[in-house]
Structure 1
Amino acid sequence: MNDEAPDHHDDDAPVQEARVWQDNGWTARVIKNEDDEGWAVAMYKDGEAEPALVGPWTMGRDKKNPKPLDVNAFNTLVKTAYEVLRRHEQQLHARLHKSTVVSGPDGELKVTLDIVPDEDNPYALLTAIDEMGEQVAQVRVDAGFKLSPASALAWVENDFRAPR
């Protein structure tokens, strides 16, 4: 009888061990907390090199080793890590996409500023959209352009010429 582990294993099978739990596109790793005597857990989304979330992890009963991961803890960690990523996405979107509404000669216009964070040449697109959802005008502006009701109105009143 051969006591060695079989040569084959299912790469798609979820890992569910005391310090590593992997399932549904996420991996939880219990790691030594470098800042103190305790433990931490790092949550990685599949394909990402950096953890989406790192937080403290509970000590086990022996007060030396970490509490083992389990399905309930893993599911809570996945939910928390997903929420953290979602908040980051919302903050990035809010930083890169701004809008205001101004009154133009033919009614209200929604004016949007969409920043394109290109490493070499960042820029933004200033766009006017009428009440029917049709694009009225669009110009390329500096990525540092400050959209405000006053700057949007000035652009509209200047016949949509690119602001200086």
Structure 2
Amino acid sequence: MSTIETDEALEAGDSAPVKEARLWRDDGWTARVIKNIDDEGWAVEMIKEGEPEPALVGPWTMGRDKKNPKPLDSSAFNTLVKTASEVLRRHEQQLHAMLHKKLSVSTESGPIIVTLDIVADEYEPHALLGAYDAAGEELARVRVDAGFKLTAASANAWLEDDFRQPDC
């Protein structure tokens, strides 16, 4: 299969395995060796099936002739899949941490867990402020501005105000 035919198959969404020197596709991932636009070397991009952007782009080793890229092989592809999957996993964890905050507040009746879940809605972004007892039972839940800052002070103030809508 020529490079042009391979590119057309990729654009058409064909997910059949491909194992070429500069293009490997298998198990929902595509590795493509590309010319590095920043210098005279080569780069490899890893794209997860269905995603518009590469999950990983990194330098690629030159071949023995010091002109062309080293060909992809099974071992390199498997390593690239593992690395790209880890990058996506870390990105998901970071996004989750940004959108979901949680802290514990000590009270006379025991610890209360206060959560802030940001709803990144395109038209109406907001957050949900919640309070839970030690058994996980919901004590209160109110809608707040997406910019609400959950801190120990803001959580304590909300508890002391009997879970009324906080001023944002």
TM-score by length of 1: 0.91
What's the CA shift for 1:12? 5.3
CA contact (8 A) 1:123 1:143 kept: yes
Q: Is 1:37 aligned with 2:37?
A: no
Match of 1:77 in 2: 80
CA contact (8 A) 1:18 1:69 kept: yes
In 2, the alpha carbon distance for the partners of 1:126 and 1:103 equals: 17
- For residue 17 of structure 1, the aligned residue among 11, 17, 20 is 20
In 2, the alpha carbon distance for the partners of 1:20 and 1:83 equals: 21
In 1, the alpha carbon distance for the partners of 2:15 and 2:111 equals: 54
CA contact (8 A) 2:45 2:54 kept: yes
In 1, the alpha carbon distance for the partners of 2:16 and 2:146 equals: 46
Match of 1:7 in 2: none
CA contact (8 A) 2:15 2:25 kept: no
Within-5 A mapping of 1:1-164? 13-164=16-167
CA contact (8 A) 1:104 1:156 kept: no
SS at 1:44 equivalent? strand
CA contact (8 A) 1:40 1:54 kept: yes
In 1, the alpha carbon distance for the partners of 2:108 and 2:155 equals: 13
What's the CA shift for 1:13? 3.7
In 2, the alpha carbon distance for the partners of 1:33 and 1:141 equals: 46
Q: CA RMSD in A?
A: 1.0
CA contact (8 A) 2:15 2:28 kept: no
In 1, the alpha carbon distance for the partners of 2:107 and 2:27 equals: 50
TM-score by length of 2: 0.89
Shift >3 Å, 4+ stretches: none
CA contact (8 A) 1:103 1:153 kept: no
SS at 2:140 equivalent? strand
In 1, the alpha carbon distance for the partners of 2:95 and 2:15 equals: 33
What's the CA shift for 1:49? 1.1
Match of 1:5 in 2: none
- Identity in percent: 73
What's the CA shift for 1:103? 2.4
Count of residues in Structure 1 that have an aligned counterpart in Structure 2: 154
CA contact (8 A) 1:128 1:138 kept: yes
Flag structure 1 segments of 5+ consecutive residues without an equivalent. 1-10
